[in-house]
Amino acid sequence: MTTFDKREEGFEAKFAHDEELRFMAIARCNKLLGAWVADLLDLKDAEAKAYALTLIEPEFLGRNDERLILKIVDDLDAKGIERTPQEVAAKAQELLARAVAEIEAGR
């Protein structure tokens, strides 16, 4: 195996690791976001958990979170709670930073 092969394997392993961490961070962020929305919707226990789990469905774990933001805004709007997409996106960014920190801390 040449040095270039070893280097390529190293880059591939790092890429795979980074993608796994990204996926875990997005899933955790969406779950935290679901808990936040459930609290705003005044959902309790099983309902709150079920709502949070809907936000970690595969359709919401991609790179484009616009659908997720719009779903949350629509869900809140249906209950008469006004939040702009920008407010929800800002909360999502805050929770993503928290999710990354938790993962890095091993929690």
At the topology level, CATH places domain 3-104 in Major Prion Protein (1.10.790)
Q: What is the largest CA-CA distance in the chain?
A: 63
Q: Which two tokens stand for residue 51?
A: 């709502």
Distance CA 76, CA 80 (A): 6
| Per-residue pLDDT tens over the stretch 2-30 | 887 778 888 888 888 878 888 899 999 99
pTM of the predicted model, to two decimals?
A: 0.83
Contacts of 47 (CB under 8 A, 6+ apart): 38
pLDDT at 61 over 90: no
Burial class (CB in 10 A: 0-12, 13-18, 19+), 101: exposed
Nearest to 55 by CA among 77, 37, 30, 32: 30
State the pLDDT confidence band at 63, using cuts at 50, 70 and 90.
low
State the residue for tokens 């909360």.
91
